[in-house]
Every structure is written in structure tokens, then in C-alpha cells.
Structure 1
Amino acid sequence: MEQTFQSAYQEEEQRLNATIAEIDKQLDRLRGIEVYTGHDFTEQVLEAGREEKRQSLAKSLTAPYFGRLDFQGDRDKTPKPLYIGKIGVDHEEVGDQPMVIDWRAPIASVFYSFTGGDDPAAYEAPEGTIEGLVYLKRNLVIRKQILERVSDTYDRNSDQPAVSDEFLVYRLGENKDNKLRDIVSTIQAEQDKIIRAAKNTALIIQGVAGSGKTTVALHRLAYLLYQYKEQVTAEKMIIFAPNHMFLDYISDVLPELGVGDIQQNTFADWALKLLDLGLPLADASETLDYWFESEGGMPEVNDEVPGRFKGSIGFMNMIRSCLESMEGASVPEADFMPWEGAVLKRSMILHWFNEEYKPYPLAKRKERVMARIHRWVEMELKKSPSAAALKERKKKASQREKSYAGKWPKYEPLVLYKQMFKALKLQAGWPEELLEGIPDGVLKSTQKDLKKDVIREEDLPALLYIHYLLNDISSEQRFDHIVIDEAQDFSPFQVAVLDLFVKGHSFTILGDLSQGIHAYKGVHDWEELSSLFAAKQTAYFALTRSYRSTMEIIEFANRILEKGVNSDLLAVPVFRSGNPVRMIPYGGQAQKRLEDLRQGMHKLSSGEYRTVAILTRNLKDANELYEQLLPDVPELHLIDGKKQAYEGGLSVLPVYLSKGLEFDAVIVADADPQHYGASAWDAKLMYVGCTRALHELWLMHEGPVPEYLQNMHEDIAATGW
């Protein structure tokens, strides 16, 4: 007999109250145990376990679970109700079924993968594949111990159709704050496959805007720590993100999932710390100005652009060839004479360098050889005929050892990099012919930079690779897993270098080629990255369903891709309808433009929307608009790439800094050909701006709009005030 909603609600409320009471009881008991602060190792381990339990129970107390799955496995006589939560909670009685099952547990995968139908469901358990029947799949919203919503997405005993999207649409309709949220209660089947993929694989995820790829990657980290707890640790995982503001934006997700201590950084900051160059990185604004400040279209991108060339595997191979050639000319030409009459033949030094210490990287080989020479000197000193001779020989030997060491190449990444670009005198034996493949523009601009000790972000992969070839990598520097977000902006050389720093090619590489607005340094096709790995070491996933924006916004953005980018990487919207996209012309005067933007922001923020952004074509426009609006909108925030945190509320920022962020409502300012040209890269920039909006999108412009936005007014509310 079909269960009524009221009885289902009452049943779940009773179950929730019982669960909270049990968690309370366990928490009180653990808090009643005096915290051990002594030095006994066994007691310290026991106390650490108790503290971990205290923290997990405390987190579970406000919202113990979010889903229910009634499942009858092939070894069960009847269906069992299983409650799924962020953190597993056991009954205190040994042997009882868990009170709450951790979302990462094998059986919980059925909750995410099952989408309806009468066929059996299955999951992979340690003992093998378990098959069974799903009788009920129920979503629950619990906030502060109060049951707010009960939604059945499947009921085998009901003749009503499954409504799997109803709960998802409800959660997606909620307004945005200044932090990314976890999606543990709404993980979809295609996302769950990525989260639970095997560890030693380089996953490449092409995800359309709003497909949840960043959140999926964060949940994957939590899953790997749960599933491979004996092989990986949080401290040995790292997330590379485009900037620190984005890192702050995603910072709440992992703690909400009960995971801490995972490293989070930008590639540039991590590389600079590792290299310890003693030089700051050049301000990236100069590069950004060149590519984004120009109005009417982006400059042409080709493989001779410094970022593209220095990010290529060809450049990586060139560096390796240079260092291999230099290796043969490392040992000074002459024999070593610590004093007259004592000679260490160069042939012996070559034997040590080329054979005995061959397994060591160059810098360590030099150290070993110099240590071996010093030991030889000490043995020779023992043959001194007198104390006076010994003293004299010691003094000469010390001076000549130091002089001899100075004749070797200086094994420092920046020194060798400068030599490679001829910024300093070429080392003897340096393969000058190998450098002929460097484009003239790249060569001259880099020589100019290096003479002034200017290091740019595009130089970091090369410097890291030279560091690796000289010193190798210590176990402390090697990661268990690496996440690369916005990976379309990474170069193949960057990823190849990072592969040296991770065990088993364990990557989660995610991005969207349609948002590849940094084409001057990033990849243009995922094959540029997948080709770095053997076929069995990589896997490709495409996330085409967009959960961020309304159908109207997604369909509008898709047409930008079709008309402006000529791309087929289109998003499939969730059925969540909203207001039409609005294209609003300014009043025709500069002051009217400012007034229209001010009124637009006020109108959007005066309702239920909590986050509203005006996106400009470049940073110059954002700065000017911020100064003009601030007197009337004192709560306005400027996002200029220097901030460490996204503060929510009202913001103005250049569109290229909006990647990865999302807002309840977005105004794209100056949506005209003077600011957005006809190139595919400009259309991608417009696409990025439009797909930041969750609920409302307005494009404001003076005169005509770019060609790829023309003739779209038929389905759009083209209204002014």
C-alpha cells in the first residue's frame, strides 16, 4: 500500500529524533572521558581515536544524513533501510548495522548510481559484486536537527513515475553565498563514476560550465582518502587552482566532508617555494593587460607565443638535450694537483663521475665526486714527510679544491637557464645548435628578462624541470594525488613536470576548453595532455549536464558557443526555468551608461539575490566603474586579482577573473563589438561571463552587439527600464 507523504514525514521525523538521541549519548560518553595528555604512546593513540570520534559525532549532530536507500541484497531476506550521511556513525553495540553509512562506502554508490527501473542494482564490495533490488530512494533535508523536506525519487511499491530531478532542482534553486558548497546530497550518477575512479589514473575531465567539476574533484579527494586510507594521506595531496581567491571560495567544501590538511596552492607559489630562487615572480598583469586590455578582439595566438612555446613538450625535450650535452663537459679538462708532485688524473675523476656515481643526478654527482677528491687528498696528506710539509700541503690543497670546484658548471636552475638563453657566456661544450628551434621573439624577450633577473610564470616549468634533472625529487616532495583545476590554462610542460612529483600518475585534471580564454599559455585540445600518459594510465570523462544556471541562461550560452566559437561542447540543462536573458541598450550617453549599470545592480540586489556581479571586459574598466559606483554603492567590492578572499555581496570585476566563481545574478557590461571582437577567443570570454549567472543574466550595451549575439533577440526580452 502506498505510503502517504504525511506518514512518511512522521516516520522520518521519529527516526531522526532517535538518531540524534543516540549520537548525543555517544558524544556525552566520549566527552566524559578525561582527555589524556601523558606520554604513553598507546594511550596517545587511543586518545587520538576518541578525539576523532568526538569531532565526527559533533559534525553529524546537526544533520546526521541526507538520504535513505531501502535495499535488498542477494543475501538478504528483506529490504534494509540504509541512511546515507557525510560521516558514518555506528551503533555502540558491536555487530549492529551502521546507524548512518558514510557516503563514500561501497553500498552508498547505489544511492547515487540508481536512477529508477525494476532491474537489479549492484555495487563493488571487498568480497565482490553485490546485486540487489532497490525498493526506495529518498532524499531528506535536515538543518539544525529539524527535518525540512522529504522527497522520494523512487518507490518500487508506487505506481507514480520516478522524479529524480525534483530534489536536485530544489537544491539548485537556492541562492548563492560567498563559498562553494558540497554536493554530497545531490551527486549524480555520471559525477559518482568520476569520484570513485581508480587512484593510479590520470583522469581528464571536460566539464561544461556549471557541471560541478570542481566540486566533483574535491569529493574525489575525500573518497580517495576513505578508500585508500593505507596508501594516501591528506598531507600528500594538493589542489592547484588559478588564484588564492578561488582557493578561498572552495575552502569550505573539504572541511564539510570531514577532510582537512590537503594542500591548496597556485602552481606559481608552489614552484617558487620549491625553487627558492630568491627572486619574486614578475607581475602577471603585464601579460594579462596585453591579452585582455585590448578592445575589439584578442591578439593572434600561435605556437611562437612565449607561453605556448615555453609550455611545450618540445621545449622540455630541448632542455633535457642541453643538460645531457652539458653533462659530458662537466669535469674540468686538466688533472687535479693539490700541490706539486701530487696528481689525481682526470681519467680517474671521469671514471667516478661517469660510472661509479652515474645513478645520481648531476648536482649530487658533483657533490659525490668532490667528496671523493677530498678523501683522496686526505690519504695523500698522510704521506707528508714532516709536520711543516703537512701544514703547507693542507693549505694549498684547500685553496686548490675550492678553485677546482669553481671550474665545474654551477648546478643551479636559474644559472643554467640563463646560459641556455645565452644571457651569460655559454658553458664550454654547450650544444648551441639545439637552441636554434627557439623562436626569435621568444629568445629575445627571454634574454631581455633574464638579464634583468625577471622570471615569468611561463619560465617556471623549465626551471622546475632543470631542478629535477639536477637534484631529483625527495620522498617528502612527492604527492599521492594532484588535482589541477582550470586545467585548460595549464601547459603540457607544466603537467609533465607535475607528473614527476606524483606517485602512479595519480591526477584529477579538470577544465573546459570552451572557457580556454588564456589560450596564449594553455592547451587547445585535451590530446595535448592525454598524450603525456600511456593509454592505460589515463581516462577521459565528459560532464555535459550543467547544474548552475537556468535553462534560459544555458541555452543562450550554448548559442554563443555554436555561433562564436564553432564548438560542439554544449551544455545540457537541468529542467530549471527562470527569467529570460535580457539584452538592455544604454541610454546613449556616458552618464546614462553609468546610471543604467547602477540601476541594474540595485534592481537585482534589492530582491532575494545575495550575490550580484558586474563583469567588465578588462581590469581598467572594472577599476573605473568601481570608483564611479562606490559613492552610491558603498558595499561594492572590487575583484582585481589581488584579493585573497571572495566576499560575496555586490562585486565588479573583469570577466577573465570571474572563472570558477558564480553569482545569483550577472550584468555583462559593454556587450558590444568595441569590447568583444569577432574572434573565437572573444566569444569564449563572453561565454565565461554569461555562465557565471545562476538565476539572472543581463547584457547591457551601446549600439550593436557582437555578431554571435545578433539575431538572438527573438527569444530574449530586449527591454530597457
Structure 2
Amino acid sequence: MEDTFQSAYQEEMRQLEIAQQEIDRQLTHLRNTPVYTGHDFTEQVLEETREARRQRLARAEDAPYFGRLDFQTNQKSEATPLYIGKVGVNHGDLDVEQENPLVIDWRAPIASLFYSFTGGLEPASYEAPEGTIEGLVYLKRNLVIRKKILQRVVDTYTRDSDQPAVSDEFLLYRLGENKDNRLRDIVSTIQAEQDLIIRAAKNTALMIQGVAGSGKTTVALHRLAFLLYQYQEQIRAERMIIFAPNQMFLNYISDVLPELGVGNIQQNTFADWAMNLLDLDAKLLPATDMWGIWFETLEQRPALNDDVSGRYKGSTRFKQWIDKSMELLEVNCVPDMDFSPWDGKVLPLQTIRNWFFEEYKHYALAKRKERVLARINRWIEMELKPITNTVKLKEFKQKSSTRIKAYAKKWPEFDAFTLYKNLFQPDKRGAILQQDRFESIPADVVKHTRITLKNNEIRHEDLAGLLYIHVKLHDMASESRFDHIVIDEAQDFSPFQVAVLDLFVRNHSFTILGDLSQGIHAYQGIHDWNEMQSLFEAQDTAYFALTRSYRSTMEIIEFANGILERGVHTDLLAVPVFRSGQQVQVLEKTSVEQLQVIQDAIQQFEQSEYNTTALLTRTLEEARTLYQTLLDQGLNVNLIDGSQNEYQGGISVLPVYLSKGLEFDAVLLMDADAYHYREGAMDAKLLYVGCTRALHELWILYHGELTPFIQQPA
């Protein structure tokens, strides 16, 4: 066995030397080629091609590939070694497709075999532009190359061997590595079920239910890289966007796409993107203020309202209500009167209505109003032309100017914020609403929203409705449409938000991912994926479930699953990868003792060479207090309170709700008692979120009565 390994290692050392020599030769040649800066179009195109190759080769320089697949097609007599890397590299100086490339891009059709093949003697196949290609796999080999040094060779399948496939051995090696302050790509360890999602068809509203640690965010980012490769003639990176829960999370995932050679993809929060489009002179209240959902003290908890305002205003029922209201606005917006620019001259109402409802019916409402008023002005100009009497001409011009201004004021004000406010004010009847149309909106929603809007303030839950009205009024410019949209933490999005985003994307091209078990924003999010799927025709949507968790050890996953079983009663439980570690520690300590435990734990984690540790509190105020206490003890810690745009790594103190989407080598979860986490699905989900942030170690601290969601180990 040792001889076999040494032989394989030496073989790969020789191949690596060949690959690096060729990459260095090409890169040197390209870097020595003068950059063209002239105005000749043909030369500019050639320079763009050369620059793209420079960048591609530079990415391959330190680690040309990560895998090898020996594949024999039915048309060949022997297997061909195929090396798979983050970027494709060809032999020679010409950047053209060849029969025997040096390195195959991981996104190429044939590279899918590296991910989909999991062993067995049966024929394997992949889909190519020319059709299905079948053949036999003789070898699947994982390689670790860092800074041009071959560090590891693992044969996960050998056709001539009696040993079973051992793909988990290499996966566990990569999963055991410690965490830093950025999410990393998983190109070398993409699993078969993840690869199916990455390579799914573009024009689909793809929905992914992924348990904590299933890699759903990383899979979505790799899917963007794949789509740009597969559909490079149809989509552009700058017309793709990722919606994430906050700016810090966007910073946390910011390295993945550049590592994959992808740039210029937009990244934003829904709130920031929507506010920029709306360009409102109104204040967006912080998300932490919404109905007291993220209270600074637990005494505020009784004010929590789970299902009144946000759930209603995020529903398709509210969208339908707005549709009906906008229909009413359209029907009644043309003033019910003829227009007379001066005495004796009349433009009939029927003519104006014909312009609005027939000639300009394909325009959005605001544009139709603008067109009609502009046409009335042109009609006035035409009627003034025959008048030769200068006194009359001056008199008629003055009168027509005054009367057209007065007439224009009789039209509704086509402003999204104004119309949205009118939805919740029954006394504003003239422009849009009738009294009896308010019966379908819950009275509490009307009352609460009227107070907010009166103060010229809006809540996050209002943004979908405002944007929808804005589009109805103004339509959208073609440059506002996206080629593809990724929605992360989609369980906290409302169906109405997704319906609005569907207006901004071509062909329902979505990747929508989340975990219902982490739906801690129940006041606005979804309770079932059918709430999202029902927005699309059956042929336009697809659903995938990722149940395998790669983040945490078996002990942590089983502990977290117990919380869900006791507190949420769900079957969306994670299946852990067989990676064993330390038992979860559940420690009853007084507040004074907890401080000593924290100090001891941090010292222990440093000895384990952990790079990231999180101390998770129940509330923001408790996080601030603990942070100051640890600072006073001389510890180097960072506070995360929601205002940060960047995750620093190291030791972080933060409320548990802000930890969602992040992961840490070790987690200390504070105050897991019955007061902080009492009965209720939301508390259980919060506790689950906190526990599943840990990769290697999880410590639970409490004082008094332990939360009912956790069973004290025997």
C-alpha cells in the first residue's frame, strides 16, 4: 500500500512540474507582451483576450488543479487522465479548445463527472453539447496543491482495486481545517447533490432547503460562476445580484467569487437596494425596531407580534389588494371633465380618455399621465397657431397656462409613498380608495402603519408594497432587469418580496436558498416553501433539499437536532458527516463563574489553534455588557452589534440572531436558561442557530433552570 502511494505521489509530482512549467512559460510570454492601448477595435479585442488569459493563468499559478479523473469514452481504447482545476488551461499559446487540455475548468461538462461519480464498475456519463457521452472511470484522485507544493494525494476511487470508494476521507480532511474570517470556495469538495444544484438550468426559480452547514450559500455562489461559464453569451456578471441579510454577511462571503475568477456581481441587502430605487425622502426604521422582535431586554418580549403586520404586508393577499386598488386608481384617475383652455374652446373628456386608455395603454400609469398632459399642451399649441390677433394670443396663452396647471392638479399624485400611505387612510378616498375596501386589512395593521407613515417613516415590511406600486406607476428601465438573482436566508423573505423581485429578473431566473429551521424572523418570513413555489408556474420552479451538514461535528449536529425535535417538532433535521469531535459541554455556572469559564475556554481554544471564537448572548444589551466586561479583563475581543460592515474574525461577542450565516471554530452560548429561552418555536430556532455556528467545539453556559429545549447530559 505504501509503495502504491509513493508511486502515485511521484507520478503527480512529475505532472505538477510539467503543468507549472507550461503555465509559467505562457504567463511569462503574456506578461512580456506589451499591453495594447490604442484605438484599433481588432487589437482591443485581442488585448482583452490576452488580459483574460493573464488573469486566468495567474489564478492557476500556485495551484493549477485539485483533482484527476481517468476516463475512457466508448470511442477510445484507453483512459485519458483529466486534471480538474478552478480555471481551464490549454497547451500552447493559443487560447482555443483542444483535444487534450492541460487543465479542465471545473465548470466544463466533462468535469461534472468528477463530482457526480461516486464509485462502482458501471459506465458513467455526462451531458455535452453534442449529446450524452458514456464511458468508464478508472481513477478518481483528489490533490492538495498550495503555493506550487503538492501536499496531499488521495485516491477516492480506483477501478482495479478491491477497496471501496473513500471520498469522505478527503472531505473530512478539508472540513477539519480551522476557520478564518472569510467563507471559502468548495470547488475541490463539491458533493454530487450540490453539483446538481450548481448545474441546474438557468431559467428556473430554484429553491433550496438546506440544513445548517449544508453549504447552501457556497453552492449558490458556485452556481453563479457556473452560469457565467455555461451561458456566457446570454448573461453578464454585472446583471446578476446577491441579496443577503446584512452588509457584514456580504463581506463574509466576498472572497468566494473572486477565488472562482468572477467579478462585478452586485451584492446588496434588499432594504438598501429598494431604498435606492425608491429614492424616498423617508426614514427606514432599523430592523431591530420592528414590533420589538429584537428587543434589548427580555422584558420587552410580551410586545412581540408574530403575525399581524409583517406577515400580512408580505403576503400575496396584500399584493392582490394593491392590484385591485391600482385598478381602481387607473379607472378613476382621469378627471371627469372636459378641458377648456379658454372660453369657447373645449377638448372633450372622451378624447382625453381615449388617449389615456387606448393610445397610451401600454405605458405605466405615471408615463401615461405624462403623455396625456404633454399631448394636451401640444393640442393647445396647435389651437393657438391660427390666432393672429396678438392681444388675444397673449390672453389665451395666459389662460391656457393657468388652466392646464389647475387641470393637472386634478390628477392623482403618482408617487409611490403618497399612494401607499393612502392605502392605510380610509379618509383619503378621492385618489385611490373607497371606504369598503379597507375591510380586508386587519385593523391593527392599519392603525400601526398609519402612525409610522405619518411620521414619514417606513418599516422593512413596507418596502415590497412600495416597490410594487413604484413599478406599477413607472415601470422599469431595461438596465434595471437582472439576468439572475440569488436570495440568501430566503426563509426570512416574504412571498411579496420575491414576487416583486420577479418583476426585475428575466425568465424567473432565481436561486432561492434558506432553512425553515432558522426562520427566526417569523413576523415576515415564510413557514413553508410552498409559499414561494406558488408564485411560479410548476414548469418554472424546482426544489432541492440539502440534508447533509458539513460544518459541525457529529456531536454538535446531534445536539442541535435535539433542540429542533423538542422545540419546533420538525423533520428538517441535519444528517452529519462522520466527523467526530468533542462532546458538547453543558455547564451550570453563576455569572462570576461564567467569566472564569470564558477565560479558560479562550485559552484552550488558542492552544487548539482556533482562529475564530464566538460568544453568543440572547440580546444585544447583554452582548454589549459582556463585551465591556471582557475588555476590562484585558481580552482582545470584537463586538458585533449590527452596525459593522466587516467581520474581523478572532474572538467575537454578538447576540445570537446576528450570528446567522456565520460560522466559527468554537462557540460559547451564554445564558441557555429557561428565562432566556423559554417555550416557543422562535426561541428554539434561535438556540438552534447559535449551536450550529460551531465547527469544532460548542459550550453551553446557564444559571438556574436549564432551557426546556436542552437535556442535561447524564
Shorter-chain TM-score range? over 0.9
Q: 1:479 aligns with which of 474, 479, 482?
A: 482
Instruction: Note if contact 2:483-2:506 (Cα within 8 Å) is conserved in structure 1.
Output: yes
- Residue number in structure 2 paired with 1:344: 347
CA gap 1:204/1:21 in 2 versus in 1, 3 angstroms: same
- Residue number in structure 2 paired with 1:717: none
- Residue number in structure 1 paired with 2:271: 268
Q: Does 1:164 align with 2:167?
A: yes
Cα distance per residue 1:439-482 (max 9 Å; x no partner): 11110110001111011111000000001111112210111100
Partners of 1:297 and 1:129 lie apart in 2 by: 61
Matched position secondary structure for 1:388: helix
Matched position secondary structure for 1:104: coil
Matched position secondary structure for 2:709: helix
Partners of 1:462 and 1:24 lie apart in 2 by: 55
Question: Letter of the aligned partner of 1:15 in structure 2?
Answer: Q
Q: 2:515 aligns with which of 508, 512, 515?
A: 512
- Residue number in structure 1 paired with 2:363: 360
Q: 1:539 aligns with which of 542, 545, 567?
A: 542
Partners of 1:372 and 1:269 lie apart in 2 by: 37
Q: Does 1:318 align with 2:333?
A: no
Instruction: Note if contact 2:426-2:433 (Cα within 8 Å) is conserved in structure 1.
Output: no
Matched position secondary structure for 1:518: coil
Question: Letter of the aligned partner of 1:614 in structure 2?
Answer: L
Partners of 1:211 and 1:448 lie apart in 2 by: 42
Give the gaps of 5 or more residues in structure 1.
715-721
Deviates more, 1:370-379 or 1:259-268: 370-379
- Residue number in structure 1 paired with 2:391: 388
Instruction: Note if contact 1:268-1:460 (Cα within 8 Å) is conserved in structure 2.
Output: yes
Instruction: Note if contact 2:292-2:303 (Cα within 8 Å) is conserved in structure 1.
Output: no
- Residue number in structure 2 paired with 1:33: 33
Q: Does 1:675 align with 2:676?
A: yes
Instruction: Note if contact 1:2-1:157 (Cα within 8 Å) is conserved in structure 2.
Output: no
CA gap 1:713/1:300 in 2 versus in 1, 3 angstroms: farther
Question: Letter of the aligned partner of 1:235 in structure 2?
Answer: E
Q: 1:408 aligns with which of 390, 408, 411?
A: 411
Counterparts of residues 324-473 of structure 1 (less than 5 Å) = 324-422=327-425, 425-428=428-431, 430-473=433-476
- Residue number in structure 1 paired with 2:594: 593
Partners of 1:66 and 1:429 lie apart in 2 by: 62
Deviation at 1:303, TM superposition (A): 7.2
Matched position secondary structure for 1:4: helix
Instruction: Note if contact 1:663-1:694 (Cα within 8 Å) is conserved in structure 2.
Output: yes
Q: 1:136 aligns with which of 134, 139, 160?
A: 139
Instruction: Note if contact 1:664-1:696 (Cα within 8 Å) is conserved in structure 2.
Output: yes
- Residue number in structure 2 paired with 1:5: 5
- Residue number in structure 1 paired with 2:16: 16
Question: Letter of the aligned partner of 2:713 in structure 1?
Answer: H
Instruction: Note if contact 2:117-2:192 (Cα within 8 Å) is conserved in structure 1.
Output: yes
Cα distance per residue 1:221-257 (max 9 Å; x no partner): 0000000111111011000000000000000000000
Question: Letter of the aligned partner of 1:519 in structure 2?
Answer: A
Deviation at 1:304, TM superposition (A): 4.4
Partners of 1:75 and 1:296 lie apart in 2 by: 73
Partners of 2:315 and 2:664 lie apart in 1 by: 35
Matched position secondary structure for 2:396: helix
Matched position secondary structure for 1:54: helix
CA gap 1:315/1:303 in 2 versus in 1, 3 angstroms: farther
Instruction: Note if contact 2:664-2:695 (Cα within 8 Å) is conserved in structure 1.
Output: yes
Q: 1:111 aligns with which of 95, 98, 114?
A: 114
Residues paired across the two proteins, number: 711
Give the gaps of 5 or more residues in structure 2.
none
Q: Does 1:295 align with 2:302?
A: no
Q: 1:211 aligns with which of 207, 211, 214?
A: 214
Partners of 1:265 and 1:185 lie apart in 2 by: 28
Q: 1:256 aligns with which of 259, 274, 281?
A: 259
Query: Which stretches of structure 1, 4 residues or more, deviate above 3 A after TM superposition?
Result: 93-96, 288-304
Matched position secondary structure for 1:708: coil
TM-score, normalising length from structure 2?
Answer: 0.97
Deviation at 1:607, TM superposition (A): 2.9
Counterparts of residues 572-583 of structure 1 (less than 5 Å) = 572-583=575-586
Cα distance per residue 1:662-719 (max 9 Å; x no partner): 0000000001001001111111111000000000000001022111212x413xxxxx
Cα distance per residue 1:517-567 (max 9 Å; x no partner): 111110011111111111111111000000000010011111111112111
Matched position secondary structure for 1:494: helix
- Residue number in structure 1 paired with 2:56: 56
- Residue number in structure 2 paired with 1:699: 700
Instruction: Note if contact 1:622-1:638 (Cα within 8 Å) is conserved in structure 2.
Output: yes
Deviation at 1:602, TM superposition (A): 3.3
After superposition, the CA RMSD in angstroms is 1.7
CA gap 1:77/1:298 in 2 versus in 1, 3 angstroms: farther
Question: Letter of the aligned partner of 2:176 in structure 1?
Answer: G
Question: Letter of the aligned partner of 1:369 in structure 2?
Answer: V
CA gap 1:429/1:269 in 2 versus in 1, 3 angstroms: closer
Deviation at 1:605, TM superposition (A): 3.1
Cα distance per residue 1:611-665 (max 9 Å; x no partner): 0010000101001111111122442000000000000000000000000000000
Partners of 2:643 and 2:294 lie apart in 1 by: 18
Partners of 2:322 and 2:198 lie apart in 1 by: 36
- Residue number in structure 2 paired with 1:86: 86
TM-score, normalising length from structure 1?
Answer: 0.96
Instruction: Note if contact 1:420-1:426 (Cα within 8 Å) is conserved in structure 2.
Output: no
